[in-house]
Structure 1
Amino acid sequence: MASGVLAPVVTAQEAPQITWEECPPQVDISTAQCGSVQVPMYHADPSAGDISVGFIKVPARDQSNVRGALFGNAGGPGGDAYSFFGNTAMNWPEELYNEWDLVAVQPRGLLGSTPVDCNTPAPGYDEFRMLTQAGAFIRESCELATPGYTASLTTDNTAEDWEWVRRALDEEKISILGLSYGTYLGSVYATRYPSHTDRVVLDSAMAPSLGWNGVMASQGPGYINTLHDFFAWTAENNETYGLGETPLAVYQAWSNRIVAETGTNPTVAPPPARVGDVPPAFAWAGQGGADVMNTVAPTGVALQGLATQLLNPGSNQAMSPLLNITRGTIPQPSTWPNLAAAIAGQEPVPDVSGSDMDEYTQMALANSTTMQRLVMCNENAVAPNHLEVPRAAWSSLVTGDIFDASSTYFSSGLACSGAAPTSGTQPVDGSQLDVRPLMIQGTSDPQTPYHLHGELAQAMDAHVLTVDGPGHGQTVGSLNPSVTAAMLDYLRTGTTDVNWAPGLNPTP
């Protein structure tokens, strides 16, 4: 091959046997079928033993005209396969359910496959060592109950799990719909098995070479920009929410709610002030006054946060349900109306404590969190920037700024400290595919920033559909008709001439 990337040689072998099982609670589509297959714990060393890999299949409603099997991955790593195609809340286009057999393989390590068990803390770790060797602590804790398993949680092995499920289902070719991390996983599979790959949709692509410290570092500025986009959208809809006519005014209303919840204010940088934000006494200063406000604003909110923490011992912005809901939902513009309504007091702020979750959901969430960390540390190929350690410690231990702490925890190296990688970045190359992949990328995506999509697009020779605006996961929810139409056209025909689409503008 001109690329130098060789697909594995697959010899004739007996197809894996499927054990059909009852679907887990998150599946609410009555026609869904759930099963599992036994696969090697390490595909490169079958003698190490086997594990179970679960999957869900939702047969096409029109079996007389089914177009084939569409394998999906929800991203993460650690996204739940059963919910991806098996839960109606995902709101996929009706055409997908009508025309394709939808299949999602539950990533190894999660409930439904052989789960990694990290419930017993590794001995010998005090609080300081758990902080400074977090990666080692998690890996050693998981090894206690599932010895030898943690190092197998890699994209390398998970891509091979897909191949075993494909063979078990007797599908000659599969199409792929990968979201976020799923763009990398799907590309790895397509690179290894081009003869078994048909169409490939890459939604919100990550840059493989940045896994994982670099991926997390890139999200810091993206999240803040998207937060400012949300404040601007809310200001444009002031008649509905009454939170202010400028982004900064909305920010202040949002900050006031967080102060009411925790006793201290958020320290994430506010949006730029506009002329309308200048106090009346200084209105004569115009834009110059706004520029002065912008110069001092970031330092001002940080100092205000420290002052309120001193005045209210034990206060921490990270304890705010509204702050956590904000960071968790702003990547999807479809959630903005509910978030704005919660800030305005028109709707209750959702409970993020987990107290209203059933036992299975709590267990699944904890399992997904540790599995994700294991994959990220096993595959980390980006050297840490130790100069960021003080900033990471300050954000997580002092100010509680979850916008800053989430990215710097990885970029500083703290997240994977003590846990050396077990797997490298996997080759991706679309040159052997019969059908050119389609990549869909938002220009203001906070989680997989637009300026980084070119690495995977070039490697896979993908046709790029640019979506002008915010949003991570452009195909999810059937909410953007232009994107949905282009994706369906591509899946049906293998091509699309659409290069650009408007972003989703939520309706209040």
Structure 2
Amino acid sequence: MPDRHRTVPGLLATGVLAAGLATVPLPTAGAAPDPAPDAAPGGAITWENCPDQVTEARAECGRISTPMHHDDPDGEQISVGFVRVPAADPAARRGALFGNPGGPGGDAYSFFGAGSGDGGDGGAAMQWPAGLSDEWDMVAVQPRGLPGSTPVDCSATPAGWDPVRMQLQYGAFVTEACETGTPGYTDALNTWETAQDWEDVRAALGEDRISLLGLSYGTQLTSTYATLHPDHTDRLVLDSGYDPRLAWNGVMGAQTDGYIGALHDFLTWVADNDATYHLGTTPLAVYRAWSRVVVEESGTNPTVVPPPAEIGDLPPGLQWAGQPAADVLTAFDGPQAQLEGLFSQLTTPGAVQATSPTLALTRITVPQPNQWGALAELINGTAERPDADDLTEAFSEDDAATASNMQLLVMCNENRVAADPAAVPGYLWNGFVTGDPFQSAGATFTSGAACSGITPDAPVVDVSGDGLATRPLQLQGTRDPQTPYPNHGPLAEAMGSHVITVDGPGHGQFGMGNDVVDAAVLEYLRTGHTDVTAAPGRPVS
């Protein structure tokens, strides 16, 4: 058994470091973010001390000045920061690899600058193979709108906004707040502008051609850069891509079933390892143990759909009836969870499931199987459970609010999928009654509430690999909740990608401890080719 009551800082960091396509929470005014330091004019680099999240000893940090609007190069300028980790073996250096961790809104400094660790307590979430860090300068450009570049300031609280109007016109609320703090900046937050920032950093570093690594949303950013600047693109790795035509309401809507499936995968794994975690021998039994923790923390139970019942979930006297009887239990479990949640909220004023730190961490963690063991230890009590203050400290409340608002503006500025009015009742029911975090992101976007009041005006880039000298490599997981496998085809077709199908759970495939995937990506980066088309899933621990 693991040591009792050990803490799990690695688990707290997972969402920030490796979860692309993150959930957008409701906006909060918060404090104004610190402005970015001044950069040298004209694309020259100002070298500076790295921020605290950069722990790699070889890392170098700098920034450049770039136009707020690239179609107005002489207009207002912003600052864009970046981290570069020089190749550990200069004699073996093959070039520069630019990377993005996803989001939109993922912290680029942490993606490469946190070094390469084992993903455990205090270690880096990403586990970059030695060949990568030995042979490439690893460069990550902090996206515009985030702390480290010129941050979007949404600290103003617009007047005249009651809670109902804010729920129904979420996008307009955020835009008004952000325009007050950073006039003219809100419509400059989009993938096209960020790709042009990469081009400015490439030129400032003096690199003729760069290789690209995009995780999740990073696949859209890197494929956009490669489409706009094919002559400066060498290799392109697309890790966990999605259909760009589904941006963004469709992408977020697809995640609801994906996350529920990932939760059920986690519960199944814990049940299969009952000898270690002692939470139950069936997924439903583990769900009930997990639900009891959520009730203890929040006063009400989770309402996410339970996993299907198995014969072992039936009372001993009914197990003779077999799986058909278990199927009847499954049919009643989902509605029962909803009713129990509603009843407990009515009888326990102020009880909201989303206040449970364990529920919040579960939603963050299920896409990352290398953290499932730590999550199971929180549930069974062998690790100390964090409270709400621990979560706030882990994610830096002000920086998280800035990233959340930046993310929303990017997504709504380039939304290509119309709202579904039929989803509005479910969104309101979830927002005002159940508060189910497994439903909230999808419902907020598909209903149109997330982007209500924002008219998409970002340049639409129909990505294409036609101009590339080397065919891109694309990695896709069969049980990925955030970029579901069935949606990867259009990106692969548009870019002409060679696809490696990874059989198993988890979002993000490269740098996640999967030796087969890591070896195939390194082969591709070195040679421009790999014959690998399938790989087993990453280790689960």
TM bracket (short chain): over 0.9
1:172 paired residue number? 208
1:425 is displaced (CA, Å) by 3.2
Q: Within the alignment, does 1:472 sit opposite 2:507 as a pair?
A: yes
Aligned to 1:3: none
Measure the CA separation in 2 of the matches of 1:196 and 1:104.
16
Matched, 1:492 2:526: yes
Paired position in structure 2 for 1:341: 377
1:318 is aligned to 354
Distance across 1 between alignment mates of 2:391 and 2:470: 47
How far apart are 1:280 and its partner, in Å? 1.7
Work out whether residues 71 and 177 of structure 1, in 8 Å CA contact, stay in contact via their aligned partners in 2: yes
CA contact (8 A) 1:325 1:350 kept: no
Shift of 1:419: 1.3
Q: Give 2:246's aligned residue.
A: 210
| Residue 504 of structure 1: aligned partner | 538
Separation in structure 1 between the aligned mates of residue 277 and residue 46 of structure 2, nearest angstrom: 52
Residue by residue over 1:36-60, the C-alpha shift from the partner in whole angstroms, topping out at 9 and shown as x without a partner, is: 1111111112243111111111100
2:352 matches 1:304 = no
- The structural deviation recorded for 1:276 is 0.9
Q: Which position in structure 2 is the counterpart of 1:29? A: 56
Moved more, 89-98 or 178-187: 89-98
Deviations 1:394-422 (A, max 9, x none): 11210111101121111100111111112
Q: Distance in 2 between matches of 1:201 and 1:245?
A: 40
Q: 1:211-239: per-residue Cα shift (whole Å, max 9, x none)?
A: 11111000000001111000110000000
Return 363-372 or 450-459, whichever deviates more: 363-372
Which residue among 425, 428, 440 is the counterpart of 1:393?
Answer: 428
Structure 2 residue aligned with 1:426:
461
Q: Does 1:449 align with 2:476?
A: no
Deviations 1:278-326 (A, max 9, x none): 1123222111210111111111111111111122111111111110000
Q: Return the match for 2:93 from 48, 66, 74.
A: 66
TM-score by length of 2: 0.89
CA deviation after TM superposition for structure 1 residue 254, in Å:
0.6
* Distance apart, 1:367 and its partner CA: 1.1
The question of whether the paired residues in 2 share the 8 Å contact of 1:209 and 1:425 is answered with no
Shift of 1:354: 5.0
Which residues of 2 match residues 60-99 of structure 1 at below 5 A?
60-88=87-115, 89=124, 90-99=126-135
**Aligned amino acid, residue 59 of structure 1:** P
- Does the 8 Å contact 1:198/1:434 carry over to 2? yes
- Kept in 2: contact 1:206–1:453 (CA 8 A): yes
Is residue 55 of structure 1 aligned with residue 73 of structure 2? no
Q: Determine the C-alpha separation between the residues in 2 that align with 1:242 and 1:15.
A: 61
Residue from 401, 406, 409 that aligns with 1:371: 406
| Aligned pairs for 1:102-117 within 5 A | 102-117=138-153
Deviation at 1:124, TM superposition (A): 2.3
Counterpart in the other structure of 1:409 = 444
Write the distance in 1 (CA, Å) between the matches of 2:158 and 2:371: 39
Q: Is the 8 A contact 2:98 2:210 kept in 1?
A: yes
Shift of 1:126: 2.1
Select between 334-343 and 279-288 the one with higher mean Cα deviation: 279-288
Alignment partners' CA distance in 2, 1:437 and 1:273: 43
From 250, 255, 259, give the equivalent of 1:223.
259
SS in 2 for 1:357: helix
1:216-271 CA-to-partner distances (Å, cap 9, x unmatched) read 00000000111100011000000000111111111111111111111111111111
User: Which of 261, 282, 290 pairs up with 1:246?
Assistant: 282
Alpha-carbon contact 2:472-2:496 (below 8 Å) kept: yes
SS at match of 2:396: helix
Give percent identity, aligned residues only: 55
Encode CA deviations 1:58-80: one digit per residue, 9 max, x unaligned.
10011122010000001000111
Q: Is the 8 A contact 1:33 1:57 kept in 2?
A: yes
- Runs of 4+ aligned structure 1 residues displaced above 4 Å come to none
Partner in structure 2 of residue 46 of structure 1: 73
CA drift of 1:15 comes to: 7.3
CA distance in 2, matches of 1:502, 1:250: 26
**Match of 1:272, as an amino acid?**
P
Letter in 2 for 1:261: E
* Range with greater deviation from structure 2 (419-428 or 64-73): 419-428
Contact between 1:208 and 1:425, CA under 8 Å: does it hold in 2?
no
Distance 2:95 2:127 in 1: 20
Runs of at least 5 residues in structure 2 that lack an aligned partner in the other structure: 1-40, 116-123
**CA separation in 1, counterparts of 2:499 and 2:387?**
38
Check conservation: 1:325, 1:352, Cα contact below 8 A. Answer: no
Displacement of 1:91 in angstroms is: 2.6
Q: Which moved more, 1:117-126 or 1:492-501?
A: 117-126
Query: Are residues 489 and 351 of structure 1, via their aligned partners in 2, closer, same or farther at CA, if it must alter by over 3 Å?
Result: farther
Q: Deviations over 1:307-356 (max 9, x none)?
A: 11122111111111110000001101001000111111111223444566
Q: Which runs of 5+ in 1 are unaligned?
A: 1-13
| 1:476 aligned counterpart, secondary structure | coil
Partner of 1:48, secondary structure, is coil
Give the letter aligned to residue 23 of structure 1: C
- How many residues of Structure 1 are paired with residues of Structure 2 in the alignment? 492
* Offset from partner CA, 1:176-201 (integer Å, 9 cap, x none): 01000000100010111111111100
Letter in 2 for 1:480: N
